[in-house]
Amino acid sequence: MVQLFHLTFTQGFFIGQLSVIVIVYIFLRFFLFCTKEELKNVQEESYPLSPSNEKSTTEFNDATHKVTPSLSEIYDVKTHEEESLDWFNVLVAQALSQIRQDAVSDDAALKKLQTLFNGKRKPSFLGPIHIKSISLGQRYPVFSNCRIQAQPDDTNGLRATMDLSLEDDIHFVVNTSAVLNVPRPAFAMLPVSLSVRIVHIRGKLSIYFSQSSKSAKRAYLNFTFDPDFDMGIEIQSLVGSRSKLQDIPKIAHIIETRIRKWFITRCVSPQFQQISIPNIWPSSAREGHRQKSTE
Amino acid sequence: MVQLFHLTFTQGFFIGQLSVIVIVYIFLRFFLFCTKEELKNVQEESYPLSPSNEKSTTEFNDATHKVTPSLSEIYDVKTHEEESLDWFNVLVAQALSQIRQDAVSDDAALKKLQTLFNGKRKPSFLGPIHIKSISLGQRYPVFSNCRIQAQPDDTNGLRATMDLSLEDDIHFVVNTSAVLNVPRPAFAMLPVSLSVRIVHIRGKLSIYFSQSSKSAKRAYLNFTFDPDFDMGIEIQSLVGSRSKLQDIPKIAHIIETRIRKWFITRCVSPQFQQISIPNIWPSSAREGHRQKSTE
């Protein structure tokens, strides 16, 4: 015991420090820290972390099934007034001016329409179709009176309906020829020149969601017009080589019907155009797919 | 001449028909129809098809450069009132309920967050992170007071700005452990349990177009928040195995800062999220690409 008292001040100083460190180590090691095995049991115990919400572990499965405020709390379909869409018109106008700008650059629109017209479905009695001029108009569509309505075929479903009015001058001029293949192919050609001009489109546009069914895993934003749309089309035609027959009603009628039919079979209810909404959650199917593609 | 009169009525009838056919044929052949060579010259002549618009051939190049009504004619930024967005809130609510539904199906959200947390960027002193529960909330964001403003850095550019308010309970509970790797790896573990809860987000959301530059050929719809957003985050923590330290301010502060930083570096101006707008006109580059891929 006596030797202890000959340890210098410095040694005492270090021993003192050491003792505290040992005590702290013992506290940490045996009260806070634990070994791997102990860790498992600790994390199995349910943590009463959110006192305000007693079941913290199975919360996930219940949360989304709690009573979610129905959409009618946000918007009362019967009483809500129609809303203006001027801000929306500005964004659409910017998008349209971008589309028109892209259409002009390296004659992209001209080429696309020319390829479309001279595609496989061009009737044999028509010669090659040349587009002489094309204009995607200068003005902008005006959307207005937006309101939410119940879906006609699904009372739970809601859709946004808005009035659309476009007064513009979208037109193109094409040259082609009617080919007489009797008595031999291309025996004679009837030159035809056409100017097609869309001067106004008025109608009711509906936007609605189609929820993805369990398997489909994709939701869609759909766009459709009501059948009572109004489209103003002006068609001029010039047929013949030396003497020309101008504005033959029959030709105008055929082309106008074709344009309307093209529009109705794509955009008028019950038909619709749709944009698919990416599913932000990777489903196991897609992950498997991504693993396969990365192997 | 006399023999002519012995031809029967029927022969006369046929000859009569033939003569008319010949006349019509001559008229069609020489006045309306032409040969292939003649067709070329006919179609080179300019067709005065749209009297109301004298230059029908070079119309395309001029049309889009005619004076396009400027956006200020549609929307006067200085005087226009703010517009309501209730219809927009309904569509956003439908999209959100779809996202929540997808998140629940086969625990997609749980898996995604777990993979994210245990990714490469997880610090070495942290053990595996287990998500005990997750909830994407039940209520819906409310957008309001939409107005068009000039872009701060581009006086020609316009953007739609709207107020966003979301009062909800988006939260998740995770279990992990702080690993002491001294004196040997995984020498001791400090169990940590965290509950992170986002209770409100308020701010100003701006939507604007970025026109595609000539080369880029893509336009984008951009979304960004103003820096003065307000996010209410509640963090609870439980540290320790036998005796537990609850709600250590330092941990709450670290996590809250991390969440804010994550949000600011992605969604707060000058950063932005963007959706690319498909270029509906195939440019020669892409067509070349498509031809190469189809060869």
DSSP chain B: -GGGGGS-HHHHHHHHHHHHHHHHHHHIIIII-B-HHHHHHHHHSPP---TTSS--STHHHHHTTS-PPPHHHH--TTTPPPB--HHHHHHHHHHHHHHHHHHHGGGHHHHHHHHHHTSTTS-TTB---EEEEEEE-SS--EEEEEEEEEETTEEEEEEEEEEEEEEEEEEEEEEEEEEE-SSSTT-EEEEEEEEEEEEEEEEEEEEEEEPPPTTT--EEEEEEE-TT-EEEEEEEEEE-SSS-EE--HHHHHHHHHHHHHHHHHHHBTT--EEEEEP-SSPPHHHHHHHHHHH-
With CA atoms as reference, the chain B residue closest to A186 would be B36
Cα–Cα distances in angstroms (integers) from residue B222 to residues A29, A276, B83, B268, in the given order: 52, 19, 20, 11
- What 8-state DSSP symbol labels residue A211? P
Residues of A in contact with B218 (CB under 8 A): none
How near does any CA of chain A get to the CA of B116, in Å?
Answer: 12
Q: How close is the nearest chain B Cα to the Cα of A59, in Å? A: 6
Q: Which residue of B has its CA nearest to A170?
A: B63
Q: Do B173 and A59 touch (CB under 8 A)?
A: yes
CB A77 within 8 Å of CB A149: yes
If DSSP codes are grouped into helix, strand and coil, which group holds residue B247? coil
Taking the C-alpha atoms of residue A169 and residue A69, their distance in angstroms, rounded to an integer, is 46
Taking an 8 Å cut-off on Cβ atoms, the answer to whether B85 and A84 are in contact is no
Look at the alpha carbons of B266, B271, B277, B281 in this order and tell me if their dihedral is positive or negative. negative
Average pLDDT, chain B: 78
Q: Do B57 and A133 touch (CB under 8 A)?
A: yes
Q: How confident is the model at residue A295 (pLDDT cuts 50, 70, 90)?
A: very low
Cα separation, B200 vs B204, in Å, equals: 14
Contact (CB<8Å) B49/A238: yes
Q: Tell me the per-residue pLDDT of B72-122, one tens digit each, with 9 for 90 and over.
A: 777 888 888 999 999 999 989 988 888 888 888 777 778 888 888 888 888
Q: Quick check: A87 and B147 CB within 8 A?
A: yes
Q: Which residues contact B260 (CB under 8 A, 6 or more apart)?
A: B231, B233
How many CB atoms within 10 Å of residue A2?
Answer: 5
| H-run or E-run covering A286 | helix A284-294
Whether the complex's predicted ipTM is more than 0.85 is answered with no
Which tokens belong to B78?
């200085």
Specify which residues B165 forms β-bridges with.
B142, B202
| Residue B213 with chain A: CB contacts under 8 Å | none
**Among A146, A173, A151, which residue's Cα sits nearest to residue A161?**
A146
Radius of gyration of chain B (CA): 37
Q: How far A101 CA sits from the closest chain B CA (Å)?
A: 8
Residues 6+ apart with CB under 8 A from A177: A126, A127, A189, A190, A191, A192, B39, B43
- Determine, for residues A50 and B173 on separate chains, whether the beta-carbon distance falls below 8 Å: yes
Closest by CA to A237, choosing from A217, A254, A252, is: A252
Cβ within 8 Å, pair B211-A101:
yes
Residue B53 has pLDDT above 60, yes or no: no
Q: Which of A18-32, A112-126, B260-274 has the lowest mean pLDDT?
A: A18-32
Listed by start position, the domains of chain A span 17-68, 83-294
pLDDT in tens, A153-208: 776 688 999 999 999 999 999 999 888 887 888 778 888 999 999 999 999 999 98
Distance from CA of B4 to the nearest CA of A (A): 32
DSSP class of residue B284 equals: H
Mean pLDDT of B48-54: 42
Picking from A29, A212, A239, the nearest residue to B98 by CB comes out as A212
AA identity, residue A13: F
Residues of A with Cβ-Cβ distance to B129 under 8 angstroms: none
The residue among A36, A68, A72, A90 with the most chain B CBs within 10 A of its CB, best to mutate, is: A90
- pLDDT for A115 beyond 60: yes
Lowest mean pLDDT among A15-24, A258-267, B59-68: B59-68
Query: Hunting for tokens 């098809």 — which residue is that?
Result: B49
* Contact residues on chain B for A209, CB-CB shorter than 8 A: 91, 94-95, 98
> Distance (Å) from the C-alpha of residue B182 to the closest C-alpha of chain A?
13
The pTM (predicted TM-score) of the whole model is 0.74
